[in-house]
Structures are given as structure tokens and as C-alpha cells.
Amino acid sequence: MIAELLLALVLQVAADVNNPSKIAFTVSADHALVSNYEADIVRPDGSVAQTLNIGKPSPDGAGNVEAPINVQPVTFGKGYWIVVRARANDAVSDDVRSENKFNRVPGGPSKVVAK
């Protein structure tokens, strides 16, 4: 069992983005030992709105990954951020917070089909 997971993370959430659909980060230096990554969607007051299991995406040659996220269940509002951590069974890395925040806003309606 490892005592500490290393997570070099830069969450690429652009400033003032509305309804992000993915996050990007650099995998843990211990990626081979990681069982999965988790992402918390955090409200402006600091409480966790939702925790997502984003699995263990395969990194590119530079160790970067992109993972889809769904913010639809989150209440409309501004100033959310994302916190990611790596898990290796019972070992958990420190949380890494995105530098930028995002907004959850109403989206446009889906396609209308008249019959």
C-alpha cells in the first residue's frame, strides 16, 4: 500500500465557462497504482454538490487526460469549482482545486419535432 499519491493537477476549466462538459488534468505520478479519480463539484459556499467517479482515463504522451463531466444535476448558479483527487484502493491523494470557476446556467431547449 502506498502512503501518499502524487497528483500533479491543472484543471483546465476556462474562466466564466458555462456548463462545462469535461475537465482536463495531468495524471498522478503514481498513475499505474491509481484505481480511479474522483471529482467534486463544489458550491460557492464550499459544500460539495456532487462527487463524480471519473474512472481512470488513459493519459496522452505528456500525461494529460480529459474526462467528461455532467453538471446538469447541479443547481443553477455562479462560482462553482472542481476538486479532483486520485484513489488507489484505500489510499487517497490530497485534493487539488481548479484555478477557475464555472457557472451552471439554463441551457437552450432540445430539438422540437412537429408531427
Q: What is the pLDDT of residues 56-96, one digit of tens each?
A: 999 999 989 999 998 888 999 999 999 999 999 888 998 98
Domain residue spans of the chain = 17-104
The CATH code of the domain at 17-104 is: 2.60.40.10
Element (H, E) at 104: strand 102-104
Task: Specify the pTM.
Answer: 0.80
Q: What is the pLDDT of residues 2-43, one digit of tens each?
A: 444 455 454 555 557 889 888 888 888 889 999 999 999 999
Q: How many other CB atoms sit within 10 Å of the CB of residue 105?
A: 11
Q: What is the bridge-based pairing of β-strands 48-55 and 17-18?
A: unpaired
